């Protein structure tokens, strides 16, 4: 089988055009925040959540119901990273990450389902669109989150690709500052899929994203074709 130079350049261009937006989840000094808490991303871009401190999660809600899973209010599954214990990975010189693909330009709303972190302002948005609706801003989302009576974790981890560096087992959502436990989340022990399902919606609507594949895999395919 022969491949033209143009075809190979097209594949390489697809790899290089894909953007990765890094979001820090928590911090080493205990800050309850996503940083940045507002990201503008194109369809096909990757969101890589890097867990920097504490025991946090990334869960998807919709705007009207912060601090609870989007699946509880719509027919969208949403994403959930599970709880990521940073200390165990840091001891190995590593940090846990969780990566998802942006499937639509529709605003995406996320929160940490640990203890009262959501109410404390640990929420974020991807593709905020106040031009379409000025009331649906990150500031208003935080205000809605602040008055929620409960912070609910999705029942299972779904969507995305997790890479953790801990030993086998599950971790519970325990807030080290309060000692309260909200729910348990199972962490992946090796790089791979963190989802129990093959695909998961990451937009408020029907758009879905398939478990993320590494762009390095595509580079490997290109390299193999060059050798043919």
- Note the pLDDT tens digit of each residue in 22-50: 999 999 999 999 999 999 999 999 999 99
Question: In the prediction, which pLDDT does 91 show?
Answer: 79
Confidence of residue 87 (pLDDT cuts 50, 70, 90): confident
Question: In the prediction, which pLDDT does 183 show?
Answer: 36
Question: In the prediction, which pLDDT does 187 show?
Answer: 33
Question: In the prediction, which pLDDT does 163 show?
Answer: 62
Q: What is the tally of helices (H) and strands (E) in the chain?
A: 4, 16
Question: In the prediction, which pLDDT does 219 show?
Answer: 35
- Note the pLDDT tens digit of each residue in 92-134: 888 999 999 999 999 999 999 999 999 999 999 999 999 999 9
Ordered domains of the chain (ranges, CATH):
19-212 (2.60.40.420)
Question: In the prediction, which pLDDT does 90 show?
Answer: 81
Question: In the prediction, which pLDDT does 103 show?
Answer: 95
- 180 pLDDT more than 60: no
Least confident of 4-8, 20-24, 162-166, 192-196: 192-196
Question: In the prediction, which pLDDT does 81 show?
Answer: 97
Q: What is the mean pLDDT of residues 134-158?
A: 94
* Beta carbons within 8 Å of 48's beta carbon, 6+ residues apart: 20, 21, 22, 23, 97, 98, 99
Instruction: Give me the residue label for tokens 């989802």.
Output: 195
| Phi, psi values for residue 138, rounded to 5° | -60, -40
CA torsion angle 219 39 106 122 (round to 10): 120
The answer to whether the CB of 76 falls within 8 A of the CB of 201 is yes
| Phi, psi values for residue 140, rounded to 5° | -70, -35
């Amino acid at each position: 089988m022969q491949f033209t130079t143009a075809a190979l350049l097209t594949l390489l261009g697809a790899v290089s055009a894909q953007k990765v937006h890094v979001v820090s989840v928590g911090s080493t000094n205990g800050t309850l925040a996503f940083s940045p808490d507002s990201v503008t991303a194109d369809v096909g871009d990757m969101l890589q959540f890097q867990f920097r401190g504490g025991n946090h999660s990334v869960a998807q809600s919709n705007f009207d119901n912060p601090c609870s899973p989007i699946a509880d209010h719509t027919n969208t599954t949403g994403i959930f990273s599970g709880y990521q214990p940073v200390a165990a990975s840091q001891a190995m010189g590593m940090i846990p990450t969780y990566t998802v693909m942006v499937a639509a330009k529709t605003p995406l709303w996320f929160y940490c389902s640990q203890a009262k972190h959501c109410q404390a302002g640990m929420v974020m948005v991807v593709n905020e669109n106040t031009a379409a609706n000025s009331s649906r801003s990150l500031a208003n989302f935080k205000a809605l989150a602040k008055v929620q009576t409960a912070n609910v974790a999705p029942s299972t981890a779904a969507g995305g690709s997790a890479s953790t560096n801990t030993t086998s087992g599950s971790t519970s959502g325990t807030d080290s500052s309060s000692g309260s436990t909200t729910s348990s989340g199972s962490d992946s022990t090796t790089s791979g899929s963190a989802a129990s399902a093959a695909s998961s919606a990451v937009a408020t609507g029907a758009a879905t994203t398939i478990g993320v594949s590494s762009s390095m895999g595509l580079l490997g395919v290109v390299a193999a074709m060059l050798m043919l």
